[in-house]
Structure 1
Amino acid sequence: MSEIGISVAAAEFGRDMEQSYATIAALIDQARARGSDLLVLPEACLGGYLPSLGGGDESEAARERRLRALPPALALDGPELRRVVDLAGDLVVTLGFCEADGPTRYNAAVTLHGDGILGSYRKVHQPLGENLCYDAGDRYAAFDTPIGRMGMQICYDKAFPEAARALALDGAEIVTSLSAWPTARTAQAAALADDRWTQRFDIYDRARATENQVVWVASNQAGTFGSLRFVCSAKIVGPGGEILATTGTDPGLASARLDVRAELDAIRGGGMYNLRDRRPEVYGDVVAPNLVTGTQLSREQRPASLRGAGVPAHA
């Protein structure tokens, strides 16, 4: 396959599963009508996200209310995902859900089409008390699909350059980043475009595409759920960091057509191929065990390369 069509959604999903299926079916129809080969849906689009992000000084009563309001936990081989497989047909679809593995819950994503599940992922990085509701995943792995080699990550993962880099090093040409990314919790802006978390979301998307020279497809929830208001801003970013299509801060579907292999060859063949030009022998401390716990590290606690004069403890 040379040129492919990609669509990505900013859409609202809640606890009503039948409404979720109706929204997914409508977005599949829209993507198919635009000639798309890949549709990327948001995090937690089967059953919705968490109604709030808590932890820390959260009261016990608030914690119990939040845990009672969790989304339904679904098995990878269960009828709920099978229903989406049947809807997808020859369209490759990436979507988020709450995965059940026995009694354990994960914030998860799958890529699937009419033949079944092509790849699955469990969210590794957990923000703001999400670990009180879900266990964390422990790996990033790319996988082959009819439209090329892909990788997945979820929401807060995009704040960690190592996550996207791991997928790029595993050969991912397209990375899908599914989110339920809300506005800032304090000092909120009246306009979504001015919200600092909207701006952070957009910066991460462009940076991760540029530094790994991959096609980056970022979906997001829209509207509100519980105490959360989502920033939309679904987008397709080319391997040079250019935004090829975006919903902006409105719900909707953004679409673009591109020859992924030609785009990658053009930017990687221009003399600056980031993955080739890495110097991993000098990066040891980047992947050393995490010593930063929120308090300043003593000089002796810092990795060796950060003990020089004038280097802050949290550099």
Structure 2
Amino acid sequence: MANILIMGCGDLGCAVGTQLAHAGHTVWGLRRQPQAIPEPIRPLAGDFGRADGLPELPPILDTVYFIATPGEFTEAAYRRAYVDGLRNTLTNLERAQQQPRRIVFVSSTSVYGADDGRWVDETSPTEPTRFSGRCLREAEQLLSDSPVPGVVVRFGGIYGPGRDYHLLKVREGIRGLHEPPVWTNRIHRDDCVGLLIYLFHLDHPDSIYLGVDDAPVLRHELLAWLAQEMGLDTPGTTPPMPEGAVHGKRCENARLHASGYHLQYPDYQTGYGALLDQIATTRAKLSRLAGWAALGS
């Protein structure tokens, strides 16, 4: 059994850590508010964004997950979380004379600068145009230059329980129908967790994986499909899209499939369908509870 450290034990980190701990591994999770870390993960208080913010590292680490979450969407916050955070982590590992078998670094498809609808994969040029992608790419390079073997996972847009951005937009009436068409790439939260755990077990992983599902989709098509599934649009009322170039990029996940990982939700229809079913089930349960409470009052 292995010793595992999760740097940035938020939603994804807690889900990964809980499953690995239940499988018999010893898992530590680090975050600024460790009281939010569930058992059986062992909580550690720390802030990897500060050079002096890390506690003493657990002994003989086999695997380190680095799953940062910037506090805000600013360049300073991204640099602190990803570049400073990973550098401080690597420095502390070296100081403790630790050589983990693997560091799994959660990155993003924002490291690609392509914005003309082209296909990209792990070998495509990374020329990010926004600060978020530049900070992530700089951190990826730090890991690549370090003596510790690293695996980078570039996730697309994550959706799932608690990550319902597009559902909220649809409820607000936004359909993207008056904007130039834009490609988007998505992955269900449960597949993020599944892939991160799968990479722990994989003997000879590649250094980079694109973590996306099989079906890039134009944003207006996604929103229109969600609206129909949510009963918010009448069929036949969709106005034509404006003319113009297609923007965004389409991410190819052939390497993910070649690794042997099988997506639980291979496209947005199955993933969002499951999410909508879950929301409906929760609402029905709450409605029944409210009815029982009213009968008992």
1 or 2, which has the higher strand percentage?
A: 1
**TM value normalised by structure 2:** 0.31
Q: Which of 1 and 2 has higher RCO (CA within 8 Å, sep 6+)?
A: 1
**TM value normalised by structure 1:** 0.30
1 or 2, which has the higher helix percentage?
A: 2
